[in-house]
Structure 1
Amino acid sequence: MKKWTTALAAIILAVAVTACGNGKNDAAGSGGASGSSTGLGGGVSAAASTSAKSDLDRLKEKGEFIVATTGTYPPYAFHPETGSRDLTGFDVELLKEVFKRIGGVNVKFVETEWEGMLAGLDAGRFDSIHQIGVTEERKKKYDFTNPYLISYPTLIVLEGTNDIRSFNDLKGKKVYGSNTSIYGKLAESKGAVLVPEGEALELLTTKRVDAIIFNNLYYLDLKKNRPDLKIKSVDQLKDQEQVALPLVKGGDGTLIEAFNRALQETKEDGTYKKLSVEWFGQDLTS
């Protein structure tokens, strides 16, 4: 009797274990076959994992932020010597410092023509463009960081020029610029004829254009570092131009928030002041 009871208990235990095992297998098989929303081991899980990462997380994983530049715009981004492969300038040094504070991210500057920059940004060939003025029109298409520089549009002509004394004298005059740039649109609004190709200073000094429009900081740099240039500023607008980094819309804001925090840190610890004094001869912290 005792042996029979022991045997019966063993049989019942075996059946119970088998039932539990089949229950687990059925649950797993059912979930896998139906593509359960839990996504265990499925494609949904991979997609959910990717989408769960923030823009900032993906940037840190990538370790590199690509910025478009012409590479010919002192004192912002330029080659210090002819033939030099390295870029330097206020924007170069400031952006490197800011992104270093965002998890040690490296900034890579890619040289390209201005005309193709916005299209390149839209296509994802780079992450942003430096020295872009913030406008209401651009804000409809791009998300911007906080401004990292503020300047004022300045009209520059050759010394000896007497028929251009203000922006209102540009009607019919040739002015360097593109109709996709802020300064080009400004010149067009005054009746100027745009010359979009070539290097601005060369066009002016060879008299292929009558005037060029740049910001006041660029003009100050020219007067400081290129005393050989026979140029003068004849007018400056009071409307400030805010320069910031544009990013294609659709992000989650984490990258912009991190940039803004790091930029503010450079202003609070004196780094921004040091760089602006080095490149512009004055403290531009604001």
Structure 2
Amino acid sequence: MKKEVFAIRLARITFVCILVLSFLALTACSPVKPEGQLTLQRGTFTFAMSGLYKPFNYHETEKGSRLTGFDVDIGKALAKEMGLRPNPVAVPWETIIAGLQMRKYDAIIGSMGITNKRKKAVNFTDPYYRSGAQIFVAKENLSIRSADDLKGKTIGVVKATTFKDVALEYSSDIVEYTSDITALQDLPTGRVDAVITDRAVGLYAMSKMNFLIKDIDTPLTEDEMGIAIHKGDRELRQKLNQALEQIIKDGTYEKISYRYFNRNILRTTTDENNKE
């Protein structure tokens, strides 16, 4: 009887040992993604964006043949500086952070504002441009000269953006749009008195698309846009910051910025005024 009990116990111990050893073996063989694995091991810098935010990132043709825009050009310049091949990809904005956390790409270069909430999920590089909520009106409009003149006026904004919250501080008469371009196009028609949108988007429409609009006063807010990376990629963050510093120093950044906006969008409004 004692021998049978001993045999059963021995069998159980052996079984447990086998399970533990199997677990350890599987763990040791499981691929663990080290810092910057996608970039450093494959030689390709894959960066994500929505592809729906002209002029920052968008498809060059209606068929969506190629991603282009300010974000894309900055990403390519950074990749070149780091000795890597650029690979821009378009993904839905609502899942873009989740994709980064799952390491589907190395970084997000998609005009993402640096916020405390986002910092809990990702790390950011130094800002690669500065913008903010800007008031735009029709070029011939003389009744709106500052934010105080927005009271009671009809203001256009894009749906589900922070610009609506800003607009509601001045007026309850809000018209919502699906795109910034459509909203800005409505200014000369008189459907809306003003549009509040990203400063750089409006400046692009003025300088490159010849919209008959103008910006009013200084931005209502000032936001810094950063390149988002995985929380664990400290080495990649350092490399990106170094590359960003270099393309700013050698004039590459300013060349790209002037291509789209006829000005350096890394500078703040205060910087521009002091320069003038």
- TM-score (norm: length of structure 1): 0.68
| Residue equivalent to 2:127 | 147
Q: Distance in 2 between matches of 1:274 and 1:263?
A: 14
Gaps of 5+ in 1: 1-28
1:130 counterpart SS class = strand
How far apart are 1:95 and its partner, in Å?
Answer: 0.8
1:96 is aligned with what amino acid? Answer: K
1:50 counterpart SS class = coil
Alpha-carbon distance change, 121 to 159 in structure 1, aligned in 2, over 3 angstroms: same
Q: Distance in 2 between matches of 1:95 and 1:270?
A: 15
> Out of 217, 229, 235, which is 2:200 matched to?
217
| Residue equivalent to 2:98 | 122
| Residue equivalent to 2:253 | 272
| Residue equivalent to 2:136 | 156
| Residue equivalent to 2:169 | 189
Q: Distance in 2 between matches of 1:91 and 1:167?
A: 30
2:222 is aligned with what amino acid? Answer: Q
2:156 is aligned with what amino acid? Answer: V
> Deviations along 1:173-199, whole A, 9 cap, x unmatched?
3321244x3433322333445555422
Q: Distance in 1 between matches of 2:265 and 2:205?
A: 18
Alpha-carbon distance change, 210 to 65 in structure 1, aligned in 2, over 3 angstroms: farther
Match runs of 1:73-112 below 5 Å: 73-74=54-55, 76-80=56-60, 83=63, 85-110=65-90, 112=92
How far apart are 1:162 and its partner, in Å?
Answer: 4.9
Q: CA RMSD in A?
A: 3.6
Q: Distance in 2 between matches of 1:102 and 1:258?
A: 7
Gaps of 5+ in 2: 1-13, 268-276
How far apart are 1:130 and its partner, in Å?
Answer: 0.9
How far apart are 1:79 and its partner, in Å?
Answer: 4.3
| Residue equivalent to 2:27 | 44
How far apart are 1:155 and its partner, in Å?
Answer: 0.5
1:131 counterpart SS class = strand
1:225 is aligned with what amino acid? Answer: K
| Residue equivalent to 2:271 | none
> Deviations along 1:108-130, whole A, 9 cap, x unmatched?
23164xxxx13442355765251
2:208 is aligned with what amino acid? Answer: N
Q: Distance in 1 between matches of 2:260 and 2:229?
A: 26
| Residue equivalent to 1:243 | 225
Q: Distance in 2 between matches of 1:171 and 1:177?
A: 19
- TM-score (norm: length of structure 2): 0.70
How far apart are 1:102 and its partner, in Å?
Answer: 3.6
Q: Distance in 2 between matches of 1:285 and 1:166?
A: 24
> Deviations along 1:66-96, whole A, 9 cap, x unmatched?
412243412x223455556223222211111
> Deviations along 1:29-66, whole A, 9 cap, x unmatched?
9xx847469x5xx112124x615x21x12333453524
- Tell me if structure 1 keeps the 8 A contact 2:257–2:264: yes
| Residue equivalent to 2:212 | 230
Alpha-carbon distance change, 238 to 201 in structure 1, aligned in 2, over 3 angstroms: closer
1:274 is aligned with what amino acid? Answer: K
Match runs of 1:46-65 below 5 Å: 46-47=29-30, 50=32, 53-54=34-35, 56-61=36-41, 63-65=44-46
Alpha-carbon distance change, 268 to 208 in structure 1, aligned in 2, over 3 angstroms: same
